[in-house]
Structure 1
């Protein structure tokens, strides 16, 4: 019975790695659309007002896009520590993850949230997401320095749940557009919240059940 459970656990972990690898590659492809620096491709095509009226917008946008891809990868690699016994690697990947979020990805995300599509509901959601992303990451960092590793782990999971909102947001968008064909601005209002709220609720449930 123990052997069966171990095998199932191993299979699930392998599927998790494969699944993350697939979605990470999709995020890399999105990022590559903005190399070399261009202001007239993909998402930026619908942000020309901000691009034209706010010269700093592109700096925040590129900062967010280019650092977020490293945040995704370093965050995922850090959580593999327990299973692959890479303690030092976990520590170093965690440092990259925390550094990138606190100094670059979260602050630039908060700025972009102020100008999000979809009206005030979308703006509120993305700003809250960015602030909680920064806070949960800082809290995890603070607890690690205090050597409160159980609490550190829980806050890192909260942080990573918000990190992968970059992936879940796009998944929800595909599902909603395919099933309901709503107005584009309505889509933004919906996925702005669906991208991260279910993630954090799931993590809180797992923490409450002591699975994390």
Structure 2
């Protein structure tokens, strides 16, 4: 045995999981999603940037004087969450700028979902659109906070597979507000002819039903869609 010879096996660095590089046309949803988010924020944000309660699109419930300010906070923090989510799912950013991905993820959680979700719990529990919408808003807020926090904890514990799955669900709930705004006019068109019959001529009952349908359908469909996407079977590689 030669003196000084190191008989220990050479150290092998663990391989890092890298995202396979795909051409942009293999992810055709990224660009349209960005345009939809920008258009949604351009429509939704201005009334609340003026800090004028008269411009609010949500009527304040009686006995809740601070409702408007909770709503403004929810909208502003929610906008940060939507922008952060868009950055997080952009493959080019994840691949080329992992540091930006990490910082955007922290902003998404701590400057977006968590404060916006807490505001949603407050204003959702006293929604002026009736008890069915209140139940939906509170359930959505609890789930949004829960899955996002689970995703954050998984990343901190370096369980990146679990982190990705939880964050896909969080992303779906974040973007469900857009689906809500698409379902509302459809529900109006379907239910409006029934105001005199089903709703007994009550505009209040009609609008509460529209709001409840949009509230429940939007986030449940988004969450089910995310879960189906996560549970999809990977495509078999073609033989070479």
Give the TM bin, normalised by the shorter chain.
0.7 to 0.9
Aligned residues: 200
| Residue 148 of structure 1, CA deviation | 0.5
Give the equivalent residue in structure 2 for 1:177: 188
TM-score (norm 2): 0.76
| Residue 121 of structure 1, CA deviation | 1.3
Give the equivalent residue in structure 1 for 2:82: 72
CA distance in 1, matches of 2:207, 2:184: 10
Aligned Cα root-mean-square deviation (Å): 2.1
Would the alpha carbon gap of residues 119 and 109 (structure 1) be closer, same or farther in structure 2, given more than 3 Å must change? same
TM-score (norm 1): 0.85
Whose radius of gyration is greater, 1 or 2? 2
The 8 Å contact of residues 39 and 58 in structure 1, kept in 2 or not, is answered as yes
CA distance in 1, matches of 2:166, 2:94: 21
Query: Structure 1: where are the runs of 5+ without partners?
Result: 1-5
Q: Which has the higher helix share?
A: 1
Pairing 1:47-58 to 2, within 5 Å after superposition: 47=60, 49-50=61-62, 53-58=63-68
| Residue 80 of structure 1, CA deviation | 1.3
Give the equivalent residue in structure 1 for 2:172: 161
CA distance in 2, matches of 1:39, 1:109: 18
| Residue 87 of structure 1, CA deviation | 1.2
Q: Deviations over 1:144-174 (max 9, x none)?
A: 0000001100000101110011111001112
Kindly report structure 1 stretches of 4+ aligned residues shifted beyond 3 Å.
Answer: 81-84
Would the alpha carbon gap of residues 83 and 77 (structure 1) be closer, same or farther in structure 2, given more than 3 Å must change? closer
Give the equivalent residue in structure 2 for 1:122: 133
Query: Structure 2: where are the runs of 5+ without partners?
Result: 1-21, 195-205, 235-240
Give the equivalent residue in structure 1 for 2:221: 198
Moved more, 171-180 or 187-196: 171-180
| Residue 35 of structure 1, CA deviation | 2.2
Moved more, 33-42 or 106-115: 33-42
The 8 Å contact of residues 79 and 90 in structure 1, kept in 2 or not, is answered as no
